[in-house]
């Protein structure tokens, strides 16, 4: 190969995005509506006084089985402050719903997930560093409410920016261990606490178990695996169990994203193999999954979220990762 041909070949490789494979034009897509939830926490959902489906959920019915086709309508009321949003000024200008095109594929021992959505504009800027963020939470079937509500299993009334947050939590002796910031606790699972209250104040951030219990939760797979792409900072990955524990992703190809013609495209890539804080993805099995988008410079709870869905690794599910 002469120098001219070699240079052209190298230029083509460098110009190609890291997520050029698989051929997404051949991969089936599912449209998932991510809606603005306001302060509708897991406690809010279960209480019954404000959410009529609390009894059905306690019987095992999923959020998606009731609301999959109506999220766009009730999200309009929430973002307008008519329901489950005590601070409508903070929600002003935000999209009530964000339709997202989701695709999944398996190739060469890896899972690829691709997301596309139209960028929003006009809302108050909260996170100046990141015009957009996308998070994925994955459960291997061992998290309470994981099948029922997806990432809702980690949403509580006493988290930062939520109604029952206790900013004094930052002074708790175990605050550093639990990554409790000056503005309050991060996400956690109900099974990581000795009790969760559905009456005011709701939640259970301070009803802690031992550090050994939390180590065992991770070993037993009782955690949400979390991935996060950020438009202005490095991608992160980690777990949600006793708290949200995220670190910068060590694999530079773990998450790739771009904004073109007003549309975000984000692709995650991770091995099917499991590891510390990472679920093993087995062909033929399904997993519980949920998504969240912080669009238009939003932060904290001012995001759009999905209901809980299923991801199949070559198996029939709401979203099936097919062999490329």
For 15-69, write each residue's pLDDT tens digit.
444 445 789 999 999 999 999 999 999 998 888 667 766 667 777 788 877 787 8
DSSP string, 48-117: SSS-TTHHHHHTT--HHHHHTTTHHHHHHHHHTTSSS-S-HHHHTT--SEEEEEEEEEEETTEEEEEEEE
Q: Percentage of the chain with pLDDT > 90?
A: 78
Q: Say how far apart CA 248 and CA 269 lie, in whole Å.
A: 15
Classified as helix, coil or strand, 290 is: strand
pLDDT higher than threshold 90 for residue 72: no
Q: Token match 């009790």: residue?
A: 195
For 308-317, write each residue's pLDDT tens digit.
999 999 999 9
Q: List residues bridging with 278 in a β-sheet.
A: 275
Phi-psi bin for 31: left (phi > 0), alpha (psi -120 to 50), beta? Answer: beta
Average pLDDT, the chain: 90
For residue 278, the 8-state DSSP code is B
* Structure confidence at residue 8 as a pLDDT band (50, 70, 90): very low
Q: Say how far apart CA 193 and CA 195 lie, in whole Å.
A: 5
The ranges assigned to domains in the chain are 27-323
Determine the pLDDT at residue 59: 73
Strands 319-323 and 97-107: parallel
Q: Say how far apart CA 177 and CA 179 lie, in whole Å.
A: 6
Nearest Cα to 277, choosing from 137, 153, 103? 137
CATH number for the domain running over 27-323:
2.60.40.1190
Determine the pLDDT at residue 256: 97
Determine the pLDDT at residue 260: 97
**pLDDT mean over 214-219:** 97
Identify whether the C-beta of residue 181 lies closer than 8 Å to the C-beta of residue 160. Answer: yes
In this structure, what are the phi and psi dihedrals at residue 75, rounded to the nearest 5 degrees? -70, -30
Determine the pLDDT at residue 65: 76
Q: Percentage of the chain with pLDDT > 70?
A: 92
pTM score, whole prediction: 0.91
């Amino acid at each position: 190969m002469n120098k001219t041909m070699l240079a052209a070949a190298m230029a083509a490789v460098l110009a190609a995005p890291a997520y050029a494979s698989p051929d997404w034009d051949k991969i089936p897509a599912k449209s998932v509506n991510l809606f603005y939830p306001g302060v509708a926490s897991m406690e809010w959902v279960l209480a019954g006084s404000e959410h009529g489906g609390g009894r059905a959920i306690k019987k095992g019915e999923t959020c998606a089985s009731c609301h999959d086709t109506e999220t766009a309508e009730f999200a309009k009321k929430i973002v307008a402050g008519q329901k489950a949003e005590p601070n409508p000024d903070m929600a002003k200008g935000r999209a009530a719903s964000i339709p997202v095109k989701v695709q999944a594929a398996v190739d060469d021992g890896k899972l690829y997930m691709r997301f596309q959505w139209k960028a929003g504009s006009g809302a108050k800027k909260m996170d100046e560093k990141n015009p957009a963020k996308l998070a994925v939470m994955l459960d291997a079937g061992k998290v309470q409410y994981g099948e029922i509500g997806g990432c809702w299993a980690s949403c509580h009334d006493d988290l930062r920016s939520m109604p029952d947050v206790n900013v004094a939590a930052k002074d708790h002796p175990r605050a550093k261990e639990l990554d409790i910031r000056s503005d309050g606790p991060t996400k956690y699972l109900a099974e990581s606490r000795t009790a969760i209250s559905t009456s005011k104040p709701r939640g259970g951030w301070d009803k802690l178990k031992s550090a050994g219990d939390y180590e065992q939760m991770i070993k037993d797979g009782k955690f949400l695996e979390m991935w996060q792409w950020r438009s202005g900072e490095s991608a992160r990955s980690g777990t949600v169990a006793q708290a949200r524990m995220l670190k910068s992703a060590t694999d530079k190809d773990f998450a790739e994203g771009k904004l073109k013609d007003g549309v975000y495209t984000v692709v995650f890539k991770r091995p099917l193999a499991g590891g510390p804080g990472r679920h093993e993805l087995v062909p033929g099995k399904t997993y519980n999954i949920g998504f969240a988008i912080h669009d238009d410079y939003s932060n904290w709870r001012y995001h759009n979220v999905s209901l809980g869905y299923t991801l199949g690794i070559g198996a029939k599910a709401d979203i099936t990762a097919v062999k490329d």
